[in-house]
Homo-oligomer: A and B are copies of this chain.
Amino acid sequence: MDIEVIEGGHVTSPQGFSAGAVAAGIKKRAGALDLGLLVSDRPAAAAGVFTQNLVRSAPVQVSEKRAQSGQLQGVVANSGNANAPFDQKGIDDAEVMAALAAKHAGFDEQLMAVASTGVTGVYLPLDKVEAGIPRIELSHDGGPDFALSIMTTDTKPKSYAIAMKEGGQTLFRVGGCAKGSGMIHPNMATMLSYITTDANVDAPFLQELTRETADATYNMMTVDGDTSCSDTLLVFANSAAGGPAITKGSPQAEALRSALLAVGTELSRMLARDGEGATHLITVEVVNGPTLAHARNVARTVALSSLVKTAVTGNDPNWGRILVAAGRSGSPVEVAKTSVRLQDVLIFDTGRVIEFDDADVSKRMEQDEVRIQIDLGLGTHSATAWGCDLTTDYVHINADYRT
Contacts and interface: CB of A to CB of B under 8 A. Distances in A.
A311 B86 contact: no
Given A121-B353, A327-B55, A316 B226 contact: no
Nearest to A319: B121
A183 B318 CA distance: 13
How many copies of this protein are present in the complex?
2
Interface residues of A, number: 67
B225 A53 contact: no
Contacts of A358: 403
A87 B53 contact: no
B403 A310 contact: no
B325 A398 contact: no
A332 B53 CA distance: 10
Interface in A298-341: 304-307, 310-311, 313-321, 323-328, 332-336
A224 B52 CA distance: 23
B314 A398 contact: yes
- In this complex, which of A86, A226, A324, A336 has the most chain B Cβ atoms within 10 angstroms of its Cβ? A324
B306 A398 contact: yes
A7 interface: no
A291 interface: no
Nearest to A312: B399
B403 A316 contact: yes
Contacts of A319: 121
B353 A86 contact: yes
Contacts of A399: 310-311, 313-314, 316, 389-391
A352 B314 contact: no
Interface stretch (A104-112, A162-170, A186-194): A186-194
Given A52-B328, A396-B392, A317 B403 contact: yes
Contact of A228 (B52, B324, B332): B324
Contacts of A85: 353
Nearest to A229: B324
Contacts of A326: 55
- In this complex, which of A55, A306, A336, A392 has the most chain B Cβ atoms within 10 angstroms of its Cβ? A306
21 contacts: A53-B327, A54-B327, A55-B326, A85-B353, A86-B336, A86-B353, A87-B352, A121-B320, A187-B307, A187-B318, A188-B320, A224-B307, A226-B305, A226-B307, A228-B324, A310-B399, A314-B401, A316-B403, A358-B403, A362-B402, A392-B395
Given A55-B333, A228-B324, 18 more contacts: A52-B328, A54-B332, A55-B335, A84-B320, A86-B351, A122-B353, A183-B307, A188-B307, A224-B306, A225-B305, A225-B306, A226-B325, A310-B394, A310-B398, A314-B399, A316-B401, A316-B402, A362-B402
Q: Which 10 pairs show the lowest CB-CB distances between chains A and B? A: A55-B327, A310-B398, A187-B320, A314-B399, A313-B399, A392-B392, A120-B320, A53-B327, A310-B399, A224-B306
